[in-house]
Amino acid sequence: MVKERIEALRATLERHNYLYYVENRPEISDFEFDRLLRELQDLEQAHPEWDDPNSPTHRVGSDLTSEFRTVKHRFPMLSLGNTYSLDELKEFIDRIEREEGEVEYVCELKFDGTAISLSYLDGQLERAVTRGDGEQGDDVTANVRTIRSVPLRLQGEGWPKLFEIRGEVLMPYASFDKLNGEREEAGEQPFANPRNAAAGTLKQQASSVVARRGLDCTLYQLAGDEVQQMNHWEALKAARKWGFKVSEHGRLCRSWEEIAAYITEWDERRKTLPFPTDGVVIKVNDAAVRRRLGFTSKAPKWAVAYKFKAEQALTRLNEITFQVGRTGAITPVANLDPVQLAGTTVKRATLHNAEQIALLDIREGDMVYVEKGGEIIPKITAVELKERRADSEPFQYIKVCPECGTPLVRYEGEAKHYCPNQNGCRVQIVGRILHFIRRKAMDIEGLGEETVELLHASGLVGNVADLYDLNAVQLSPLPRLGEKSAENIIRSIRRSVDVPFQRLLFGLGIRFVGETTAKQLAEHFRSLDRLRMATREELLETEEVGEKIADSILEYFAKEENLLIIERLRAAGLRFEAEERKTASDALAGKSFVVSGKFTISRDELKRLIEEHGGRNVAAVSGSVDYLIAGDKMGPEKRKKAEKLGVKMLSEEEFMALISATERAEQRTEEEAQQPEQVKEENPVQGTLF
Ligand code: IVH
């Protein structure tokens, strides 16, 4: 009885879910839906033996973090050839018609999200895999289950026992704006565009987070032995009947004129869609024609994408203002009359630097074209000279810092102007402190921009080292703080002394030393003192450190005021050393290695492996060295020397084999403990694409 009720509830809920999220015509109220869902939840809780991963109760996701297994696609996920030119598109059509005569095409929107492949076995969602490299992708099934428009069980009949359906996971503009609003409020980096947001969300480890972000999924391509017999238009219709969300905007076209008309129409109409699109995909309809046309190594010859030019908007530039970053870099900003662009309202655009303004001759009061690239901030691409006022004058770039009045400088090879008053310019000081306390650096909580400005204005904090001299009594009288939050802040500051060295290094805010570089430097030099003493040559030996970064590091440590701050941070007990490396095995105990050339992993990573397995790294080949690990493009001199001295040479694979004997043994015992059954990741179905 109970089992039947569970089944009935699942079927009912899925149906209403479909009506709401796919068909957009709900038949019951949200209240009624929630009541049924709760009834199902209660029954499932009482009867865990009847749980089912495809139950609608799992659409809310879970807080458990999941690792994404890499799995092989049953049918490779190819890409599409693409073009921005109608002439090239016409050539594509002409070529097909020369070979095949007149054929039918299906024109579809090109959805701008992240590709997904869904597998259905016996009408049930079996797994969802990202595109990855086209051969294999990440298994993101738990996350995809939370997307309400993805059917967990299919409706109707006639679906093959096993097939895949490909489509796009999208983030509608409304969800995107909401998400970015929340991120900005929380002081987190907003996503640059809905595509990145969709891709980033799919890789979230907690599916409950995915469930809340309002993703959508639209399907456009079937793959599988049986479905490849169907014409595309029929396949789309069938998929719609099985409960998939298939766009209503596709169209069967029979001539070049009809294709061109579809493109013209949608280049305009797409601006009214609630989700992003970036072109039109044109596919041959007939399955037999598709088979005859076949594939190139990367893409089908029966389909192509025509990409729209980025959307532009024309609006007035009212004023050019300037931002001063924590490094003193000046960024000019265009303040615009608000205008709609690619689904969002744009009020500001970046102007990059003085040269850019001069190059386009951008002036205040001009009508300008704004465009959205991959970045979150739109840019100005041109001025509408016809609309320029007769009395307009060329823009004069500022000569002094808008914050502190210090004359600006330009460093060699840099397009930007800088305010050199590092220790007197309020915005730079506050910016450096804010950078230092960031989550990815020292992760000090409770201090927002306003509080840091207050601390600076009241003379309590002039640099990052001052933070560690603060106490709650000093903080609590500040406006909007109070005793409790003052204590919390102090606690968070004290806790931050244990942050790993690489994050402290990032937090110092050395110009051009971002998170990754800080990590590489910490890995390479292992202590702040060794980094400080490093010569330019030694710095350049670090992976990813070029001349620009090396010079910036030297410049940082050459400044007396920075050294003073560093000494005070040391006294406050911050970590100046990288953590001890774990020893994974003693497979290489007593052996010394020279690493030379390029490898599939970074050289530092390789050196770390050597040490983790008890080996020792040495810089140069000599008679006492045991092995030379030879990578790509290793200097011929080293090879000769090694040969002469009889030093054994190893390829990367041979080295890996050397350490993996012990590793494999360790892993096996772990796996055995976790997984009693062997998971098989082979292709159960062999066949060609579509
Ligand atoms: S068909 C073998 N149809 O565009 C062809 N792709 O540039 C499979 N895309 O990876 C793709 N909308 O992520 C197809 N209506 C549509 C599409 C579409 C967006 C994406 C897809 C693909 C990429 C190729």
- Domains in the chain, CATH or no CATH each: 2-60 (1.10.287.610), 77-307 (3.30.470.30), 426-498 (1.10.150.20), 501-571 (1.10.150.20), 592-671 (3.40.50.10190)
Give whole-number Cα distances, 30 to 20, 27, 144, 390, 601, in Å: 10, 10, 22, 59, 52
- Residue of 80, 83, 105 to test ligand 1 pocket, by largest number of atoms within 8 Å of CB: 80
Q: Is the shortest distance between the CB of 189 and ligand 1 below 6 Å?
A: no
Confidence of residue 685 (pLDDT cuts 50, 70, 90): very low
- The pLDDT, as a whole number, for residue 24 is 84
Stretch 66-78: mean pLDDT: 87
In terms of C-beta density within 10 A (0-12 exposed, 13-18 middle, 19 or more buried), how is residue 313 classed?
middle
Confidence of residue 187 (pLDDT cuts 50, 70, 90): low
Confidence of residue 663 (pLDDT cuts 50, 70, 90): low
- Pairwise pLDDT comparison (608 vs 6), residue with the higher score: 6
Stretch 627-643: mean pLDDT: 87
pLDDT in tens, 413-433: 788 999 999 889 999 999 999
Instruction: With a cut of 60, say whether residue 666 has pLDDT above it.
Output: no
Instruction: With a cut of 50, say whether residue 538 has pLDDT above it.
Output: yes
pTM metric for this prediction: 0.62
Q: Is the shortest distance between the CB of 305 and ligand 1 below 6 Å?
A: yes
110: annotated active-site residue: yes
Give whole-number Cα distances, 353 to 61, 64, 331, 513, in Å: 46, 46, 6, 21
Q: Is the shortest distance between the CB of 199 and ligand 1 below 6 Å?
A: no
- Residue of 75, 110, 219 to test ligand 1 pocket, by largest number of atoms within 8 Å of CB: 110
- The pLDDT, as a whole number, for residue 374 is 61
* 340 CA from centroid of ligand 1 (Å): 27
Instruction: With a cut of 80, say whether residue 270 has pLDDT above it.
Output: yes
Q: How far apart are CA 153 and CA 673, in angstroms?
A: 33
Q: Ligand 1 atom 10: the closest Cα is on which residue?
A: 79
Q: Is the shortest distance between the CB of 139 and ligand 1 below 6 Å?
A: no
Catalytic one of 72, 110, 386, 633: 110
Stretch 269-287: mean pLDDT: 94
- Pairwise pLDDT comparison (281 vs 439), residue with the higher score: 281
Instruction: With a cut of 50, say whether residue 676 has pLDDT above it.
Output: no
Report phi then psi at 184, rounded to 5. -65, -40
- Residue of 105, 106, 118, 220 to test ligand 1 pocket, by largest number of atoms within 8 Å of CB: 220
Q: How far apart are CA 678 and CA 510, in angstroms?
A: 49
- The pLDDT, as a whole number, for residue 603 is 83
Average pLDDT, the chain: 89
**Of 302-316, 630-644, 650-664, which range is least confident?**
650-664
- The pLDDT, as a whole number, for residue 675 is 34
pLDDT in tens, 374-427: 666 788 989 999 999 999 999 999 999 999 999 999 988 788 999 999 889 999
**Of 421-435, 487-501, 665-679, which range is least confident?**
665-679
- The pLDDT, as a whole number, for residue 423 is 87
- The pLDDT, as a whole number, for residue 604 is 80
Q: Is the shortest distance between the CB of 221 and ligand 1 below 6 Å?
A: yes
Which H/E stretch holds residue 137?
strand 136-138
Confidence of residue 571 (pLDDT cuts 50, 70, 90): very high
Show Cβ contacts of residue 493 under 8 Å, excluding neighbours closer than 6 positions: 444, 467, 468, 470
Q: Reduced to 3 states, what is the DSSP secondary structure of residue 269? A: helix
Instruction: With a cut of 60, say whether residue 342 has pLDDT above it.
Output: yes
Q: How far apart are CA 543 and CA 385, in angstroms?
A: 48
Stretch 348-369: mean pLDDT: 93
pLDDT in tens, 280-313: 999 999 999 999 999 987 899 999 999 998 888 9
Q: Is the shortest distance between the CB of 80 and ligand 1 below 6 Å?
A: yes
What does 294-360 look like in DSSP terms, one character per residue?
A: -B-SSSBTTEEEEEPPPPEEEEEEEEEEEEE-TT-BEEEEEEEEEEEETTEEEEEEE--SHHHHHHH
Confidence of residue 448 (pLDDT cuts 50, 70, 90): confident
Q: Reduced to 3 states, what is the DSSP secondary structure of residue 61? A: coil
Give the whole-number percent of the chain exceeding pLDDT 90: 64
Residue 493: name the closest of 473, 465, 474 by CA. 465
Confidence of residue 683 (pLDDT cuts 50, 70, 90): very low
